């Protein structure tokens, strides 16, 4: 008798209790709820050669996007290897894909998971791992199209359909198809309101369209569905905080930072990234963030795992600069330089994006604004290569704008402000930006007039 999971995909185990646990763990993973890893480890403790359990544990660790879990992934794959003879073809392919990730060949891992998706379009584990690795690799079009590949094989009767729609919504958003993205995300939530990825996808639409009030209302009204016992919780709080930041409500931003983003002192990569990005944004605005950098820099230092994923490293750099830790910063840069000389996806990410951005950040701290402009002016155009979302990478645009303003580069400040105001309706942040650009231009005019009328200038002109 053949044994299958909830979507009728064959599994090599005949243990129905293991398969039930697999389906339950996958459901948790789909919604980023609870602790799917412990659930699947319990299944593996009872049935050590439960190969789909091994595949899931490996997939969960891959999607952490965190060098800190690589030792766990190594151990997980060693345990799986001891039973590899039992694995069916699909299970073997899952483990091969995870092994490529462990070896640092992120692109190959992504391709292998993608090939499983093509051959088994209802393999929701493969779909989600491929989706998240598309995210880490900055493959925006595949965030959309990989999910589109499987849609003909799904409908509301297949368990997990809402999650497929939620992933598609995010891919549509990251490829600027905002109306379709919002429609798809709302459809996903009609089927299953407790889908934080779909809620998050629609929040991204609102962020990109500058719908500040809508965004706050959207996330607050659904907080019960995303904020409890959820891996995406800090990230969705971060999105809510971004909307308040656009309103220039820094008091609320700091309160949310303390009460939601850093209340648990999480050391999870996704959480410390968001914390760094938020404090950096506040500092760009000249907001006094008190001693918040210290706690965050301590957490980044304790994590280690530097030089394994450039996107994370850039956010660690913000914390080290924010708390003025030159030794930690130098160690981080050395790790990134070593990574850049290596092979695999992170070598290119570190070389092309990570290191130039980190150099721009330290130039910004040193008030060498011309250098910031030179570095970020070029790097922001290819920054998707180191992963993340448009909303996350916007911190590079904001740093560039601030460098133009502080460095007195009026033309560039005007151009970047015009670029930004064309994309979003007027809000307090944009208004403040426009005022600062105008003030800079007036200052330039005054200086020019002064030069024209000053006796020294007149003598210089005559000479
Ligand atoms: Fe996001």
Ligand 1 center to residue 284 CA distance, Å? 20
Ligand 1 center to residue 460 CA distance, Å? 56
Ligand 1 center to residue 239 CA distance, Å? 7
Domain ranges (residues) in the chain:
1-138, 144-230, 232-463
Ligand 1 center to residue 194 CA distance, Å? 17
Ligand 1 center to residue 204 CA distance, Å? 6
Residue pLDDT tens, the chain, 463 long: 679 999 999 999 888 999 999 999 999 999 999 999 999 999 999 999 999 999 999 999 999 888 889 999 999 999 999 999 999 999 999 999 999 999 999 999 999 999 999 999 999 999 999 999 999 999 999 999 999 999 999 999 999 999 999 999 999 999 999 999 999 999 999 999 999 999 999 999 999 999 999 999 999 999 999 999 999 999 999 999 999 999 999 999 999 999 999 999 999 999 999 999 999 999 999 999 999 999 999 999 999 889 999 999 999 999 999 999 999 999 999 999 999 999 889 999 999 999 999 999 999 999 999 999 999 999 999 999 999 999 999 999 999 999 999 999 999 999 999 999 999 999 999 999 999 999 998 888 888 888 877 666 656 655 5
In what helix (H) or strand (E) does residue 10 lie, and over which residues does it extend?
A: strand 10-11
What 3-state class would DSSP assign to 414?
A: helix
Residue 66 and residue 299: Cα distance in Å, rounded? 14
Residue 274 and residue 256: Cα distance in Å, rounded? 12
Ligand 1 center to residue 87 CA distance, Å? 36
Ligand 1 center to residue 303 CA distance, Å? 22
The dotted CATH code for 1-138 is: 1.25.40
Residue listed under structure tokens 């459809």:
187
Ligand 1 center to residue 273 CA distance, Å? 11
The dotted CATH code for 144-230 is: 1.25.40
Ligand 1 center to residue 118 CA distance, Å? 26
Tell me how many degrees the CA angle 346-348-350 measures, rounded to the nearest 5. Answer: 65
Ligand 1 center to residue 236 CA distance, Å? 7
Q: Quick check: do 144-230 and 232-463 share a fold? A: yes
Residue 457 and residue 463: Cα distance in Å, rounded? 10
The dotted CATH code for 232-463 is: 1.25.40
Contacts of 281 (CB under 8 A, 6+ apart): 245, 395, 398
Question: Is-contact 15 50, C-beta < 8 A?
Answer: yes
- Buried b or exposed e, range 240-268, using 16+ CB within 10 angstroms: bbbbbbbebbbebbbebbeebbbeeebeb
């Amino acid at each position: 008798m053949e044994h299958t999971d909830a979507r009728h995909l064959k599994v090599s185990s005949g243990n129905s209790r293991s398969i039930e646990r697999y389906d339950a763990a996958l459901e948790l993973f789909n919604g980023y709820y609870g602790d799917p890893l412990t659930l699947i480890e319990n299944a593996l403790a009872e049935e050590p050669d439960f190969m789909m359990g091994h595949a899931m544990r490996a997939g969960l660790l891959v999607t952490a996007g965190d060098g800190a879990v690589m030792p766990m992934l190594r151990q997980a794959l060693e345990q799986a290897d001891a039973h590899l003879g039992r694995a069916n073809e699909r299970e073997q392919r899952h483990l091969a894909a995870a092994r490529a990730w462990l070896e640092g060949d992120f692109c190959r891992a992504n391709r292998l998971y993608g090939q499983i998706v093509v051959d088994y379009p209802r393999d929701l584990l493969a779909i989600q791992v491929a989706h998240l690795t598309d995210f880490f690799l900055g493959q925006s079009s595949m965030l959309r199209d990989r999910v589109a590949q499987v849609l003909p094989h799904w409908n509301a009767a297949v368990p997990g359909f809402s999650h497929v729609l939620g992933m598609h919504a995010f891919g549509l958003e990251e490829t600027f198809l905002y109306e379709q993205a919002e429609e798809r995300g709302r459809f996903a939530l009609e089927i299953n309101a407790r889908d934080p990825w779909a809620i998050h996808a629609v929040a991204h639409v609102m962020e990109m369209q500058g719908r500040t009030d809508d965004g706050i209302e959207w996330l607050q009204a659904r907080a019960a569905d995303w904020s409890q016992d959820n891996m995406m919780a800090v990230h969705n709080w971060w999105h809510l905080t971004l909307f308040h930041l656009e309103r220039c409500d820094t008091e609320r931003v700091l309160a949310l930072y303390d009460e939601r983003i850093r209340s648990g002192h999480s050391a999870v990569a996704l959480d410390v990234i968001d914390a760094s990005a938020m404090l950096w944004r506040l500092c760009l605005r000249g907001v006094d963030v008190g001693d918040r950098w210290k706690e965050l820099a301590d957490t980044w230092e304790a994590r280690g795992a530097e030089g394994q994923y450039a996107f994370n490293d850039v956010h660690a750099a913000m914390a080290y600069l924010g708390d003025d830790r030159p030794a930690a910063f130098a160690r981080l840069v050395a790790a990134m330089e070593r990574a850049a000389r290596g092979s695999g996806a992170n070598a290119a990410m570190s070389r092309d994006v990570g290191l130039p951005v980190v150099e721009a950040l330290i130039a910004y701290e040193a008030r060498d604004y011309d250098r910031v402009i030179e570095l970020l002016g070029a790097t922001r155009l290819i920054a998707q290569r180191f992963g993340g979302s448009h909303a996350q990478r916007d911190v590079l645009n904001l740093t560039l704008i601030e460098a133009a303003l502080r460095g007195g580069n009026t033309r560039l400040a005007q151009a970047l402000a015009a670029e930004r105001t064309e994309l979003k309706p007027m809000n307090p942040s944009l208004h403040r930006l426009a005022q600062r650009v105008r003030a800079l231009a007036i200052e330039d005019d005054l200086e020019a007039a002064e030069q024209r009328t000053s006796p020294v200038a007149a003598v210089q002109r005559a000479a």
